Homo-oligomer: A and B are copies of this chain.
Amino acid sequence: MLKGHLDMIVLAALAGAPAHGYAVIQEIHRRSGGAFDLPEGTIYPALQRLEKAGLLSSRWTTAESGRRRRVYTLTRRGRLALADHRAVWQRFIEAVGGMFGHADHATARTDR
């Protein structure tokens, strides 16, 4: 469904503030109005991929609860990539919109 757009979504979720994987899932769920409910098997590999690409950086932290968390932060390149993805996305939805835009031009009134 969100093939190819996952990176953008994850980056967007981290644009506000750094967060750990589990929190990213919740943030995405929240911001999307409940539309996106990504499983861990989707998000964790994505975070690793983005870090390897230099768009995210991570560090281990320990919450007051004693839990170990890997917190991801958007890098400079990550922010640039996000802006980039966003522009591409904009053009994409406009193009798709164009596909619907005009029902047709064959059945329409051809008079004058």
By a beta-carbon cutoff of 8 Å, the part of chain A in contact with chain B is 1-5, 8-9, 12-13, 15-17, 28, 31-33, 35-36, 86, 88-89, 91-96, 98-107
Contacts and interface: CB of A to CB of B under 8 A. Distances in A.
Given A12-B100, A86-B100, A100-B12, A36 B95 contact: yes
A contacts with B: majority SS: helix
A28 B89 contact: no
Given A4-B1, A89-B96, A96-B5, A101 B16 contact: no
A10 to B, nearest CB: 9
Given A15-B104, A103-B16, A98 B4 contact: no
A92 B31 contact: no
Contact of A103 (B15, B93, B95): B15
What 7 pairs across the A-B complex have the smallest Cβ distances?
A16-B104, A3-B3, A35-B95, A32-B95, A12-B99, A17-B106, A3-B4
Contacts of A93: 93
A96 B91 CA distance: 14
